[in-house]
Every structure is written in C-alpha cells, then in structure tokens.
Chains A and B, each alone.
Chain A
Amino acid sequence: MTTLTDPPQGSFKVSMLLNDTRYRSYTFQFIALILLIAAFAYLGSNLAYNLAEAGLNISYGFLGEPAGYDINQRLIEYTSQSSHWDATIVGVLNTLLVAFLACVTATILGVIAGVLRLSNNWLISKLMSIYVEAFRNVPVLIWIIIIFTVITAVLPGARAYLGEDPDVDLTLGMFAFTNRGIYIPAPVLGSGGMAVVVILLASIMAMFAYRSYAKKLLFNTGRLLPMAWPSVAILILPAVIAFYVLGQPITLDTPDPLANRFNLRGGIQIGAPLIALWFALAIYTGAFIAENVRAGIQAVSKGQTEAAASLGLRPNRVMNLVVLPQALRVIIPPLISQYLNITKNSSLAIAVGYADITATLGGITLNQTGRAIESVLLLMLFYLVISLSISTVMNLYNRAVSLKER
C-alpha cells in the first residue's frame, strides 16, 4: 500500500493524520496505544480499588506458609507441613509426568491407528475409523470421567488383594490391579546395583554406536551387517552377566498384601486418577494423531510408493524406508501441537482428583488461602512457559526439516 506514489511534499495539515497514508498508520497506532494504556489503567485502578475496598493485597507470601493438606501422588518429598510452594512444585511435576506419559502413549496409539486405517484389511480399517471418529467427537472431559468410572467400577477394590487368603491373587506374584490404582514392583538397588545400571546405560550407548556404524558401512560399502540380534545382544548380555556376576544386587520390592489392613504396601503405586487421565488423554489425542499420520502418509505421492516397489522393496520396507521418512515432515508439526494440547488438557485432572498444578495451586491452595489472583496468575505463567518452549522447539524443528528449495 505504500507503493503508491508519494504525494507532493507540502505543509502539514491536521487532516493528513487521517487521510495521508504516511501518517495514518501512526495515528492508528497512537490511538491503539492510548486505548490499550487506558484499558490497563482502568482495569488496574478497578483492581486497586476493589482490593483496597475488600482490605486485600497482592502478595506471594502465602507460598512460603505451610500448606496444611496432603497430596497422594507425589514425585518429591512432601508432607502437610511443607509450604504451598512445595505443593506447587509437586503439582508441576505431576503435570509434566502425566503429559509425558500421555504424549508417548498417544504417539504409539496414533501411529498404529493411522497406519492401520490405511490397511487393506477392511475390518481393521473400519474399526480404526470408528475409534478415530468416536474419540474425536466426544469431549475429552467426558472420556476422562468415563475411563475413571470404568477403573473404579470394574477393577476390584484393594481389599480383595489383602490378607492371608485373598479373593484375588497378585498377578505373577507382583502386579495388582485395584480400583485405587495399579501396583507394580519397585527395583531396589543393593550394593553393586549401581554398577549394573551403569553397565546397562553403557550397553544402550554401545548399541546405538553399533547401529550407526552398520548404517555407515551399508552406505559406504554396501555391506549389510545383521541389525536385529546383535542389537539385542549388546543391549542385554553385558547387563545380565553383570547382574549374576555381582550376585544379583537388584531386587524387586513387590506389593505386600499382609502389611496393612487397608492397602497394599510396597512397590510403586500408580494411582487411579493418574491412570484415568493418562489413558483418556492418550486415547483421545491418539485419535487426532491417527488422522495426522494418515494425512501425512497420504501426502506422500503414490509415485514414491510405486517407485520403491519397482525397485523390489517389500511393502514394510517401502513404508519404513520411503514413505514414513517423507511423511514425517508433514506429520511432526501437527504432532507437536497435539503434545501441546495434551499438556493443556492435563489441567482437566481436576475432574478426577489428580494432583496436577491446576488441582494444587489452582485448586486447594487457592481455596485455602483465598489468594485467587496470585494463584491464577502463577498458573497461567506456568502453562505459558511450557507452551512457548514447546512452540520454540517446534519452530526450530520446522526450520530444520523444511524442504530446502533452491
């Protein structure tokens, strides 16, 4: 719009502020700025007045005071004597935990469903369509509640596992599925246990080194090294050998049905709210990811598949080596925004009593202290930081994989 020929320079008239394109944008911006400042000043003065009227103030001092309530699902040490700030951190970690679990599960589900939806098998592809449509078109809140209700209503109570002669025996002697949550054995490191862990980590790195070496060899010389069994061997053998050589230093702490009359003790307990939220988010978002995956695969032109087939590649190799790498470029950006959605939707934890940050800081702390403004601000800040960092990562990735057109 500035490509118009500039009118002749002349004396400045006030009307030019509106009519002259050179000045008009300044006028508009000035007005916008004034309006913005006025709006903020208005809201701010209302806030100040209302707070003064109610005798309240803005202070974050409450974060240092003892919270007074207990939290069942916690990744760090926390008691009712810990501060509200600790409760907030517990909430943050719980949010991140459920978001991480749900992202991983949703990706797996979504990729499987998306690929199967394109399957030649009529029944499977129809089933996958039903899954995708059913979950995409019903609010996630309803899914969370339904899955929570399923867990509560279908699984046996914890007491069924308790006592000398329980109604239900531990699965494999170490797993318990109750409506309070799932109990799994916890590894206990004895002396030398750390060494086994270190060896395992080292073999993981060794495995990747081997795989990249094999790949390089294949590309440089065309020699195809076996991939599957050496990987497994490198991964497992050293750790297993170390485990037995060092005298089985890692033991399992299994849930004990006899220690307490109300609950299983020992092992790791994954609470029912966490499971409900995790599964609901994963299945719901998985349906969206399945659509993204399908769209991504269909975006790879048919000629690519045919070309690969004419080279003699088998169908699964066509998928792995030709289609998926190209589809990924289309799939990944919406995938990351689905991860963002999972993180934001995890705030619905409040419906099932999972202690994420919305439930601790935005729920109980807000209630008990009455510090609504401070709590809600902090809450929003947390989600903003998460969102902005995820979108930064996404932008970096987009820049990295975008087709370099010359």
Chain B
Amino acid sequence: MAMHTDHKRSDELPDVRVDNQEEVKMKKTVFLGALTIAGLAAGAAAAGTLDDVKARGTLNCGVTTGLVGFAAPDSNGEWNGFDVSVCRAVAAAALGDPTAVEFVPTTGKTRFTALASGEIDMLARNTTWTFSRDVDLKFEFVGINYYDGQGFMVPRDLGVSSAKELDGATVCIQTGTTTELNLADFFRANNISYEPVPIETNAEAQQQYLAGACDVYTTDASGLAATRATFENPGDHVLLPEIISKEPLGPLVRHGDNEWADIVRWTLNALITAEELGVTSTNIAELAAGTNNPEINRLLGTEGTLGEMLGLDAEWSKRAIMSGGNYGEIFAKHIGESTPIGLARGLNAQWTDGGLLYSPPFR
C-alpha cells in the first residue's frame, strides 16, 4: 500500500510542475494579448479625422486589392496608380509627406464597412457615387476623379459588335458593385437572357474570362481597359460601344466630419485646378515664387490664407501637386494613352477642352 502511494506521488510530482509552468506560460500569452490590444488599438476617432491622421502620422487610405493603373502594388510592395495618387496628394497636403500613407486593400464587400468603422480615413477605390451610398450608407463623396460608365469586353473572334447581341451569353461580373445591378437592368430592359458569373476580384474575373468560362466581362470601362492592357494579346479583345450606366468615380469619406471632407475635396480640386492653370510638377517651384496670376498665387499659397482656412499650412496644395503632378500628369502617368492601359481623356478632359472636369474656383 505504501509502495503504491509512493509510486503515485513520484508520478504526480513532475506532472504538477509541468502544469504549473505551462499555466504560467499560458497566462503570459493572455497578458501579451491584452497588451497587444492596448498597444494597437488606436485612440478615439471622434476627435476629428484630421487630428487623428496627424497624431498617427499616416493616412489610412482604402484602395482596391489590385487593379492595374488605378491601384496595384508593384513587385516591391509599393502601391501605384491613379487612385493611389489621390491618397498621396491628400497625405502630402495634410501631413507634408506623400509617402505617409497606409494603403488598406478592400474588396467590393469590405470597403464601406472599413470606412464606416474608421479603419480607413478615406476611400479611393473606383467607387461609384450613388444616391443610396451618399444618403443611406452615410458617406460623403467629395468629388469625381473619373467619369466612367459600365462597358463590355468580348473576344474579337466572337464577332459581337453590340451588347444587344449578347442573348444567352455568360457574363463575368465583380460582385458587390453597382455593375451587378446595372447588368440585370440592362438585360431585362432589352428582354434578353444571360448567365451571370459573380466573381470577387478583378484577377479572378480575368482568369475566368481568358479561359473562356465567360463570354463577356463587364465592369467600368476604365477597368476593362486596364484589365485588357494586362493581357498577352490585348488586340484580341474588343470593348463594345454600349456604355450602359453612368459611373462617376470619386474618393469618399464618412458623413459628419466636414473639415476632413473639405481637405480631401479641395486637394482633389487643387489637382484639377492646377492642370487648368498650367501648374505642373516641373514648373511649380518657379510658379510658387509668385506669379501675375492671382488664382495661381492663391492656389499655391503665396496669396490669401486658403490653407489656414482648411486647418493646414499655406503650402498644402503645393505639396499635393508636387506629390504626383497635377490631374493631367497623374492621368497621363498611370492610365493615359502612352501607358499600356491607354485611356483617352474623353469625358475626363478639362471643361475648357470639352470634358466634364470643372473645379470650383480657389477664391
């Protein structure tokens, strides 16, 4: 009996010790978790987005998970593109550093929650300005940086010349976007049938389309051009002439913080106005010394106190323009006719050139 007890004890003791140590380790892990929470949870966002951004030192900007020309990381993980430039301009204006941007990739599904929950400060993700998003989802579209419309891309050898000939076709769409609804409306209005193939990301849509799993790929015409540019033989695919919807794309922020909305809005306007006034990243240093044009002077902060009114310094717009150039430069660099994407200015020309870009005056 005694032996038995001894045996049991010698069996038990090491177990107990291990248990104690393991328990301590577990406890430490829990505490580390709590600490991580304390360390990572950012401060209250209610103070005002600009203050948050300044306190944080970086701008959290929501972009797509990857659409070449608009927002895509290169092989070094550096984000580039048309939408990305808007983020960089805002960061340059608000923080003085165009690289102080944290890019948060979002899908069609996650983008609005990310913005609503304060995870991102602004969303620059080819997002269509619609009534319900503005009013019902409580967002503030600060302007339009690209006038777009939904188009269709088909393989050339299909011999289709109009979207109305697409009866019975299989159509790839990016889910969670307005295109899904437009598509249903378009086919219903024309009384023709189709098979939708909903897809999460542009990359997968591309894969499906190229493999022939769908006959047609539909999304914003700019996105189609960008996608086609990445194909091996872009010439084998045509964009159909029908543009079935208006898709004004622009950056947006949360409802309710008008100061922040103003900063994003007028940064965008500064880029547009800069092009209109002929201010480019090459001549801006020269022009900032002072010119005879009072509007340029006001824009660049050598005259008036526009920057101060925004809660920024006088050189905010100068920095914004220098970060990537004016609107025209950004357009030409990322998606313009000299790039593989090759989009014409079209509707996105300045109003003086017959386009729709029309910035309110800096006064």
Asked whether, in the complex, the Cβ of A179 is within 8 Å of the Cβ of B176, the reply is no
Whole-angstrom distance between the Cβ of B117 and the nearest chain A Cβ: 9
Asked whether, in the complex, the Cβ of B138 is within 8 Å of the Cβ of A55, the reply is yes
- How many residues of chain A get a CB closer than 8 Å to chain B's CBs? 39
Given A80-B184, A364-B180, A370-B136: A69 in contact with B168 (beta carbons within 8 A): no
Whole-angstrom distance between the Cβ of A354 and the nearest chain B Cβ: 9
Of all chain A residues, which has the CB nearest B256? A53
A182 to B175, CA, bound (A): 23
Task: Give chain A interface residues in 338-359, CB to chain B under 8 Å.
Answer: 350-351, 353, 355, 359
- Mask of B172-211 contacts with A, CB within 8 angstroms, 1/0: 0001100011011101100000111111100000011001
Asked whether, in the complex, the Cβ of A353 is within 8 Å of the Cβ of B112, the reply is no
A160 to B195, CA, bound (A): 18
Given A69-B184, A70-B194, A364-B175: A158 in contact with B109 (beta carbons within 8 A): no
Task: Give chain A interface residues in 166-201, CB to chain B under 8 Å.
Answer: 179-180
Whole-angstrom distance between the Cβ of B154 and the nearest chain A Cβ: 10
Asked whether, in the complex, the Cβ of A179 is within 8 Å of the Cβ of B212, the reply is yes
Whole-angstrom distance between the Cβ of A362 and the nearest chain B Cβ: 9
Given A70-B184, A353-B200, A364-B176: A54 in contact with B138 (beta carbons within 8 A): yes
A336 to B7, CA, bound (A): 42
A364 to B215, CA, bound (A): 22
Whole-angstrom distance between the Cβ of B121 and the nearest chain A Cβ: 17
Set of chain B residues within 8 Å of A368, measured between Cβ atoms = 176, 180-181
Whole-angstrom distance between the Cβ of A359 and the nearest chain B Cβ: 7
Set of chain B residues within 8 Å of A125, measured between Cβ atoms = none
- Mask of A283-296 contacts with B, CB within 8 angstroms, 1/0: 00000000000000
> B interface, by DSSP: helix, strand, loop or mixed?
mixed
User: Of the candidates B109, B132, B208, which one forms a contact with A363 in the assembled complex, judged by CB atoms under 8 Å apart?
Assistant: B109
- Mask of A202-235 contacts with B, CB within 8 angstroms, 1/0: 0000000000000000000000000000000000
Asked whether, in the complex, the Cβ of B198 is within 8 Å of the Cβ of A367, the reply is no
A70 to B196, CA, bound (A): 7
Asked if B213 lies at the interface with its beta carbon under 8 angstroms from chain A, I say: yes
Asked if A260 lies at the interface with its beta carbon under 8 angstroms from chain B, I say: yes
Q: How many A-B contacts at CB < 8 Å in the complex? A: 99
Asked if B166 lies at the interface with its beta carbon under 8 angstroms from chain A, I say: yes
Asked whether, in the complex, the Cβ of B109 is within 8 Å of the Cβ of A263, the reply is no
Task: Give chain A interface residues in 248-273, CB to chain B under 8 Å.
Answer: 260-263, 265, 272-273
Of all chain B residues, which has the CB nearest A153? B211
Asked if B137 lies at the interface with its beta carbon under 8 angstroms from chain A, I say: yes
User: Of the candidates A72, A263, A351, A363, which one forms a contact with B168 in the assembled complex, judged by CB atoms under 8 Å apart?
Assistant: A263
Asked whether, in the complex, the Cβ of B195 is within 8 Å of the Cβ of A263, the reply is yes
Asked whether, in the complex, the Cβ of A158 is within 8 Å of the Cβ of B138, the reply is no
Given A157-B211, A158-B212, A180-B213: A72 in contact with B197 (beta carbons within 8 A): yes
A328 to B116, CA, bound (A): 52
Task: Give chain A interface residues in 66-112, CB to chain B under 8 Å.
Answer: 68-72, 79-81
Asked if A159 lies at the interface with its beta carbon under 8 angstroms from chain B, I say: yes
Asked if A21 lies at the interface with its beta carbon under 8 angstroms from chain B, I say: no
Set of chain A residues within 8 Å of B108, measured between Cβ atoms = 367
Set of chain A residues within 8 Å of B302, measured between Cβ atoms = none
User: Of the candidates B136, B166, B168, B211, which one forms a contact with A265 in the assembled complex, judged by CB atoms under 8 Å apart?
Assistant: B168
Asked if A387 lies at the interface with its beta carbon under 8 angstroms from chain B, I say: no
User: Of the candidates A71, A262, A273, which one forms a contact with B215 in the assembled complex, judged by CB atoms under 8 Å apart?
Assistant: A262
Please list the residues of chain B having a beta carbon within 8 angstroms of any beta carbon in chain A.
108-109, 112-113, 116, 132, 136-138, 158, 166-170, 175-176, 180-181, 183-185, 187-188, 194-200, 207-208, 211-215, 255
Query: Can you pick out 8 interface pairs between chain A and chain B where the beta carbons lie within 8 Å of each other?
Result: A72-B197, A80-B184, A262-B167, A351-B200, A353-B198, A355-B198, A363-B176, A368-B176
